[in-house]
Structure 1
Amino acid sequence: MFQSAQHLPDADTRLTAERLIQRGVVTLRDIERVAPNLTIQSINGTASTNMYLRGDGFNDFTQSNMAPVVTYFDDVPFAYSTMASGLMFDLADATVTPGPVGTTHGQSTTGGEVRLQTADPTDTWHYGASEDIASYARSRSEAYVSGPIAKNLDFRLAGQTRQGGGWQTDPLNGSHLGDANSWALRGKLRWRPDSRTTIMLGGHFVQDDSEVVTAVPVKRLIGTQPLPSLGWGQAEWSSRPQFADLIGRKRGIKPSEHNQFWGWDLHIDHDFGIAKITSITAFETEREGEYTDQDGTAAAQADTYRTVDANVFTQELRLSSSRPNDRLQWVVGAFYQRSRMNQRFFFDYTDYTPARGYMMATSFGMNQESTSEFGHVSYRLPHHLTLFGGLLHELDDRGITGLQSQIFGRGTTTFHRESTAANQFAGQVGISWQMTPGTLLYYKMSKGFKPGGFTANNTQIQAQLLPFAPETVLTYETGFKSDIIANKLRINAAAFYNDFHNQQILGTILIPNFGPLSQLTNAPKSESWGFEGTIEAHPIKHVFITQNLGWQRGNFQNFPTVNRAATNAYYARTGHWKAINDNFAGVDNGQPKLTLNGQAEWRQSLTNQLGLDFGPDWTYRGSQSITPGGTGFYRLPPYFLLGAHVSLRPTSGHWEATLYASNILNRQYFESSGQATTTYFYIPGAPRFIGGRVSCGF
């Protein structure tokens, strides 16, 4: 698979749609199970995600800042990760790119990108559907139709619905939680007026009213009230009628989403013979209403409702070489992005007494605009050597406006506007050597850049709105790609070193007489290093094995901030808040050191017309600390998950029937963690699911 990519000097993980379906990749978060050194975590069990690639990423609850790892759909970058929710269907392929990017397309980033391509229209008629039913009454239904409308005019329409699957229950009243309830549509219209021009118009709509996974408290940080004793699959939550009335939702609301996303994109490609021009215009919207219980108890100590109203316009224009066999390959282009966002957070602290005992709301607006110019060139020398390099310049301007913090029944505090601007260069240089027809060696140095931003959650003082600085990284990478035995053994591997300046980290600020709050800040100096690799083996007849391996280490070389663990411990001893400041120089960056995922298959022909394949798959993620320097309960335990499948399919490929299981051992594990006022909590992962999937396509 992806044979031509074996001659590209990168460490990308490329995945077919078939592999994604086989491994049960149906959400953005699932991609971490099929790529090395990648961690994708749900934020408080919701549809919003944070990504970490090679240890680079940050925890942004508000999702109002640019992430170090950006998600693309059909070459359109999504400024906010939540916008990708509900779109993982009718895919063509996926690519995970680690390290700084931006000299060939789109935006500059420091951590990398996840690129998803959806299936295009076809000039002949095709249609198909699939039904997936599993434990806890979970169902996923998909369908598509594609074909010609008129001469040189084709279309594709695809849809998905997701229902059920909730596996949490409240031991206090037996209430059920976690059912999916969403549907999505995507359409594409392709016009080819001549052999050199393609115009593609796409659009999508997602409605998501799913319930979310709720937190499990593991440590009480404030007060002496005992934590609930919970079994595997149990959780507590609360919803006071007064709070439901305040946020305008029905009484008895469960932790859930009420989200709507829609957008469109226009791709225009024209080949002049000596060069190709590409224009990508897109508009994306997000309308989010999200209720979470962040203390994980039946008390109203950190019940939260968040609304988001955001839209993003992007325009990319690039000119590139159009003859792939030429020694000289090049691309130049420009990218523009404009985003507008308004958020409002409601908090119910009624049972958090005597410290608070009230309901409050924080609201703000975020305006952002950026432009960038980029270029990349490669030249193939004699003896199979290729030199390549690229340069990017980006200007980013963003400001936070109209921020108010209102305590109902007590008063409102208004904060003045803050703004930040960045004007930076990024780039790349490298060399590759096609040592043999099946072996490529490469080395490259890349500088990545990511603009600064703001923390705007539960704001109490103006100092919380001070912008954090842009992040830059200088990455050194060397790797090889080798088909050691053609069609039998492939090994791709890369090693890297990241030298960060002002790495953006979720730190802590202490508010007098209030307590510690999370604040995005900068670690002036930090580093990470490691390697990743993929082995694809076909050692004997019928047996096919894929193994991804990622290992990384990192530490802060200079990072002065409030030590949250020590500050909480001091309060527990004395009953008074005092900031315990520390410098985390030499402290591990907290990211999982080891990630493993893979699968083994036995592929067998039963008849001339029918085939069978079956086998296990596995995932391992090492321990992770969300809080800098975190130990004990501040560090997520490692976990190992085992799955399996058996599939029956004809050689025609017109249908497929699969039985599968995930988390066969029914291991209790936790995917992310955090702190909300009185407790430190974990977000639990899903238990064992057993299901079946039937699909057909013609």
Structure 2
Amino acid sequence: AIAIGPATGRTLADFCEDAAQAGGGDPRTVISDLGGDYKAENRGASLVAEWAINPDLSLKSISAYRFTEASQNDELDHTGIPFLHRTNTVHPQGGAGESDQYSQEFQLIGSAFDDRMQYVTGLFWYQEESGGRQSISFLGPFDPAIANLFFLNISPSSLTAKNDAVAAYAQVEWEFTPQWRTTLGLRYTDESRDLRVQDYAIDTSTLDANGGAAIPVGGGLFVVQRPGFEYNPAFILDESDVRQRKISNSDVTPMASIQYLIGESEWLDQGSLYLTYSEGFLSGGLSESPTGELEPFEPEEVQNIELGFKLDLLDRRLRLNGALFYSDYTNRQLTTLVINPEVNSPSPATINAADSTIKGFELETTWLATDRLIIGFNATFTDGEIKEFMDTQITIADTAQPPAANCVRADLSLIQVDSCPNDRSSENLPRLPEQSYLLSAQYALDTAWGTFLPRIQASWKFDMEFCFDALSCTTGLWFEDEQFELSARLGWTSIDERWSASLYGTNLTDEDYINGGIALVESSGTGGFAVAPPRMYGAEIQYRF
């Protein structure tokens, strides 16, 4: 147990117990001294223009712009004390982040050989500029009022980023016999990321609202004048260090597919079998590191193989689509924690898992039960495995013993932690259900006022991990064995199709299954759970012109 309130003698475990008992069994009722919220304002515009050069060739232009302004408060400790906070709205110098995104794409689309060959080739450009957001992680303030000491450990910073991407691609589909066709594609991608981090430090002369001195002694501790000290939550932040780095990544990703068309038979209206190989690429980036510098993480690459079928049966009233798939990931990007030595506090970071795989089977079923009733059923079975993943494990240190070999100890003032290499190669991939099912029914009702579309949908997911650090994964507390959600929607479209509206409800049975959380068991000894949003209702209306 860690005593963090000397005036009360209470420990962090005591405050965690208060939070756990707050709702009387209702996981959506919690104790929080910050709350959690996310606010965003989005604006955007897009323009699509197409020119038919001749009957077999067309040129398409797709232009888009999007602006986002967002701010949020994160309560990471889920207790009634300021133990782990991350915010950009509480402090006067905090600010919402702004992002401008631009994209332009040109496509040349054509056909040849009496439409037996279809092709598309294109160029794509994207740019994103973001900045203005100042985020502050708080540990404290704690004011014991029994000594000339005051504790406040913060890590304030503002980010400015510029991301650029260009790509060129081509894909051709060729029907070389009436039963056989093949598709070949190639994409070249080049991306760059430029990140600038401005760090800040407390102007200690502004920490006491009464103007008294506050002398830092390290690790967030200050010697203050008592009596008379009064904490000033609007203390001034001064610019300190600047960290900046730029990286670039490029890759060529091919795809190839061959398809066999099955002819009509007594039990089959039409169908096909296919085999596809494809590669994917997710560019790398920059992240926090134990050195305090911005360190690059590697691009994520994946090789996919898919063997599947598509069948239409029962006079085209039943459609079955199924596939076996296997994905082999190299340098899959996952999230971890590191101790930032600039401020001696945990910071989120992106890390690469060298080797991981996902394999499974998926089935999609659509049945036109009547001319107006459509019933759907989907099922997916997956097996995700991390084969090679070296992480850093941050644990509360035993101060009676020196750190083990290859471990680094950091003093976070309230606690000391050890950062040690940790092999997590045996774990399952997070947030990947082993089984998932979806059952839906939709009915079309034509009237003099338009078409009404009532729809009901039920989904099940089984065996999902929402843990974060290695210790939280071994506890089993963040493992959800079943998620169920029932939703419904009533849609309407006018006769001229200009107006549309809908009424909807989600989580109608008000399930409270786990769907996330902050599991910082190793570094802080705490862990919070996020549960599904409660039963909700809403309405939408749209006009097209």
Provide TM-score, normalisation by structure 1. 0.58
Which one of the candidate residues 436, 456, 472 is aligned to 1:595?
A: 436
Q: Do residues 519 (structure 1) and 519 (structure 2) align? A: no
Structure 2 equivalent of residue 335 of structure 1 = 124
Structure 1 window deviating more from structure 2 (676-685 vs 280-289): it is 676-685
TM superposition shift of 1:418: 2.0
Q: Do residues 552 (structure 1) and 364 (structure 2) align? A: no
Structure 1 equivalent of residue 210 of structure 2 = none
Structure 2 equivalent of residue 350 of structure 1 = 140
CA distance in 1, matches of 2:501, 2:188: 50
* Larger-gyration structure (1/2): 2
State the SS of the aligned residue for 1:686: coil
TM superposition shift of 1:658: 7.5
- Rate the CA distance shift 1:221–1:344 in 2: closer, same or farther, 3 A: farther
CA contact (8 A) 1:222 1:572 kept: no
- Rate the CA distance shift 1:486–1:222 in 2: closer, same or farther, 3 A: farther
TM superposition shift of 1:466: 0.3
Q: Do residues 414 (structure 1) and 241 (structure 2) align? A: yes
CA distance in 1, matches of 2:422, 2:175: 51
Alignment of 1:281-680 (within 5 A): 281-306=63-88, 307-321=96-110, 326-342=115-131, 343-351=133-141, 357-407=152-202, 409=204, 413-436=240-263, 438-455=270-287, 461-463=291-293, 465-511=294-340, 514=344, 516-539=346-369, 544-563=374-393, 567=395, 576-590=416-430, 591-601=432-442, 616-622=456-462, 623-627=464-468, 630-631=473-474, 632-636=476-480, 638-644=482-488, 661-675=505-519, 678=524, 679-680=526-527
State the SS of the aligned residue for 1:225: helix
AA in 2 matched with 1:620: W
State the SS of the aligned residue for 1:627: coil
Give % identity. Answer: 19
CA contact (8 A) 1:510 1:562 kept: no
CA distance in 1, matches of 2:11, 2:163: 37
CA displacement 1:619-669 (0-9 Å, x = unmatched):
222322342652422435531122346789999989999876533332212
- Rate the CA distance shift 1:443–1:406 in 2: closer, same or farther, 3 A: farther
TM superposition shift of 1:674: 2.0
Structure 1 equivalent of residue 32 of structure 2 = 237
TM superposition shift of 1:296: 2.6
CA displacement 1:187-224 (0-9 Å, x = unmatched):
xxxxxxxxxxxxxxxxxxxxxxxxxxxxxxxxx99665
Structure 2 equivalent of residue 278 of structure 1 = 60
TM superposition shift of 1:497: 0.7
State the SS of the aligned residue for 2:331: strand
- Rate the CA distance shift 1:460–1:340 in 2: closer, same or farther, 3 A: farther
CA displacement 1:552-604 (0-9 Å, x = unmatched):
2111221111235xx25979999531124221223211222222222135678
Structure 1 equivalent of residue 228 of structure 2 = none
- Rate the CA distance shift 1:599–1:353 in 2: closer, same or farther, 3 A: farther
CA distance in 2, matches of 1:563, 1:586: 15
CA distance in 2, matches of 1:269, 1:258: 37
State the SS of the aligned residue for 1:554: strand
CA distance in 1, matches of 2:307, 2:256: 12
CA contact (8 A) 1:309 1:341 kept: yes
CA contact (8 A) 1:507 1:627 kept: yes
Structure 2 equivalent of residue 132 of structure 1 = none
CA distance in 1, matches of 2:137, 2:502: 45
Q: Do residues 685 (structure 1) and 467 (structure 2) align? A: no
- Rate the CA distance shift 1:406–1:592 in 2: closer, same or farther, 3 A: farther
Structure 1 equivalent of residue 230 of structure 2 = none
Alignment of 1:67-216 (within 5 A): none
CA contact (8 A) 1:276 1:322 kept: no
State the SS of the aligned residue for 2:297: coil
AA in 2 matched with 1:688: R
Structure 2 equivalent of residue 266 of structure 1 = 47
State the SS of the aligned residue for 1:226: helix
CA contact (8 A) 1:361 1:407 kept: no
CA distance in 2, matches of 1:694, 1:279: 29
AA in 1 matched with 2:82: A
Aligned pair count?
A: 459
CA contact (8 A) 1:358 1:407 kept: no
TM superposition shift of 1:488: 2.5
Structure 1 window deviating more from structure 2 (479-488 vs 626-635): it is 626-635
Which one of the candidate residues 6, 10, 15 is aligned to 1:225?
A: 15
CA distance in 1, matches of 2:151, 2:519: 17
What's the Cα RMSD here?
3.8
Structure 2 equivalent of residue 136 of structure 1 = none
TM superposition shift of 1:442: 1.0
CA contact (8 A) 1:584 1:628 kept: no
CA distance in 2, matches of 1:322, 1:490: 28
State the SS of the aligned residue for 1:633: coil
AA in 1 matched with 2:70: E
Question: More strand per residue: 1 or 2?
Answer: 2
Provide TM-score, normalisation by structure 2. 0.73
CA distance in 1, matches of 2:241, 2:178: 66
CA distance in 2, matches of 1:553, 1:661: 32
TM superposition shift of 1:696: 9.8
CA distance in 1, matches of 2:143, 2:291: 21
In structure 2, runs of 5+ residues without a counterpart are: 1-9, 89-95, 145-149, 205-215, 217-237, 265-269, 403-414
In structure 1, runs of 5+ residues without a counterpart are: 1-219, 240-253
CA distance in 2, matches of 1:643, 1:298: 34
State the SS of the aligned residue for 1:665: coil
- Rate the CA distance shift 1:225–1:584 in 2: closer, same or farther, 3 A: same
